[in-house]
Amino acid sequence: MDEVKPVSSANLKSPQGPKCILSGVQPSGKLHLGNYFGAVKQHIAAQGDGECYYFIADYHALTTVHDAATLRQNVLDVALDYFALGLDPEKTAFFRQSDVPEVCELSWILSTVAPMGLLEKAVSYKEKVDKGLDSSVGLFTYPVLMAADILAYRSHLVPVGKDQVQHLEITRDLAVKFNNRFGDTFPLPDYRLTPASKVPGTDGQKMSKSYGNTIDIFAEGKALKKSVMGVVTDSKTVEEPKDPATCNVFALHSLFATPEQGEVLATKYQAGGMGYGVAKTELLSLIDAYFAQARERRRELASDMGQIQQWLRKGAEKARATARATLELVRSKCGLR
Ligand code: ADP
Ligand code: TRP
């Protein structure tokens, strides 16, 4: 079940009327099953629950992607992935973050109310530097730009994975600090966590591009088979009973299976007499069936990139109009006009 943080009584009403739902995804490589079950799936499902703004966080990606052609390609790949997986450009404003440069201005303004100590406590900066990323100022102030993304649309609800919760807390802190200093301006956004907060990778660690243990959403054929067959298991023989609760193959299987299919497989695990190869083959066919339609749709969409670009522009126009209105208000509140 989705975990929804109770809406704070301090929340201000949005002038936009319907609830604004916002989220972003970094274009830092091919999307994988962790991204799908940890983020994309609920973004798609939330369309229609309110006014949705979803964007491809290309400004943020500059902290890690340093090649222009790669960044451009990654942005288009993410856009194709989202549209193929069910993003509806009629319902949702889906856009490139950098098509709304107002967020950079808001980011600067928010940085003037952001205490250094608050950012120094952010774990994602430390984790990224520990992983070997350049410790740029941009990487350090990443959460302020993220707060600007959220507050520029005066968002109410931000569906994210667990790793982003601290960023949401920082966003709320910055909104409160701005409101206290300059008067009520921003509603305090709440987050909604996905049920699948830690999809395991092929090696059993959290699936992540940086661990090289991913199964990509749009992998198929031999490449998909190779990833699935490579999922690490213990070394129990075919005859031995196996424990579904500790098995990576079973954990991945349960993301795709119906409860009945899950029970049947669990019974086979516990009875013994079934090798992990059988479970992996079943997982492979569930993945194939689950994404069959999206793969087909992606192929169709890829043959008309002009359409994709046009949808992104349309999303950006809507988003920019909202961000401009917020910035007008913000500038006047803090004396920039
Ligand atoms: P990566 O770790 O591959 O770089 P990102 O940090 O770009 O992935 O994650 C993008 C989104 O996908 C985030 O909201 C994150 O919470 C979610 N996500 C990434 N990996 C997983 C995972 N293994 N399980 C659940 N959610 C994940
Ligand atoms: N930091 C998020 C991630 O790595 C991406 C992101 C940027 C985002 N701005 C956002 C997510 C605003 C939600 C809201 O996944």
pLDDT at 3: 46
Atom of ligand 2 at shortest range from CA of 161: 15
- Among 19, 41, 128, 318, the active-site one is 128
Provide the whole-model pTM: 0.92
Which one of the listed residues 91, 121, 131, 209 is annotated catalytic? 209
Give the mean pLDDT of 102-109: 98
Q: Whose CA is nearest to atom 11 of ligand 2?
A: 24
Please confirm, yes or no, whether 41 is among the known catalytic residues.
Answer: no
Residue-wise pLDDT tens digits, 277-317? 999 999 999 999 999 999 999 999 999 999 999 999 999 99
Averaged pLDDT score across all residues of the chain: 93
Active site residue 128: yes
pLDDT score at 17: 64
Ligand that comes closest to the CA of residue 22: 2
Query: Which domains are present in the chain?
Result: 10-198+304-334 (3.40.50.620), 219-290 (1.10.240.10)
Task: Kindly report the protein residue whose alpha carbon is nearest to atom 6 of ligand 2.
Answer: 24
Q: Whose CA is nearest to atom 9 of ligand 2?
A: 146
In the residue annotation, 225 being an active-site residue is answered as no
Instruction: Quick: pLDDT tens for 236-284.
Output: 999 999 999 999 999 999 999 999 999 999 999 999 999 999 999 999 9
Catalytic residue among 91, 162, 198, 206: 206
Say how many Å lie between the CA of residue 75 and the centre of ligand 2: 14
| Nearest Cα residue to atom 10 of ligand 2 | 24
SS in 3 state form for the chain? CCEECCCCCCCCCCCCCCCEEEEEECCCCCCEHHHHHHHHHHHHHCCCCCEEEEEECHHHHCCCCCCHHHHHHHHHHHHHHHHHHCCCCCCEEEEEHHHCCHHHHHHHHHHCCCCHHHHHCCHHHHHHHHCCCCCCHHHHCHHHHHHHHHHHCCCCEEEECHHHHHHHHHHHHHHHHHHHHHCCCCCCCEEEECCCCCCECCCCCECCHHHCCCCECCCCHHHHHHHHHCCCCCCCCCCCCCCHHHCHHHHHHHHHCCHHHHHHHHHHHHHCCCCHHHHHHHHHHHHHHHHHHHHHHHHHHHCCHHHHHHHHHHHHHHHHHHHHHHHHHHHHHHCCC
Q: Enumerate residues lining ligand 1, CB below 6 A.
A: 25-26, 28, 34-35, 38-39, 160-161, 163-164, 196-199, 206-210
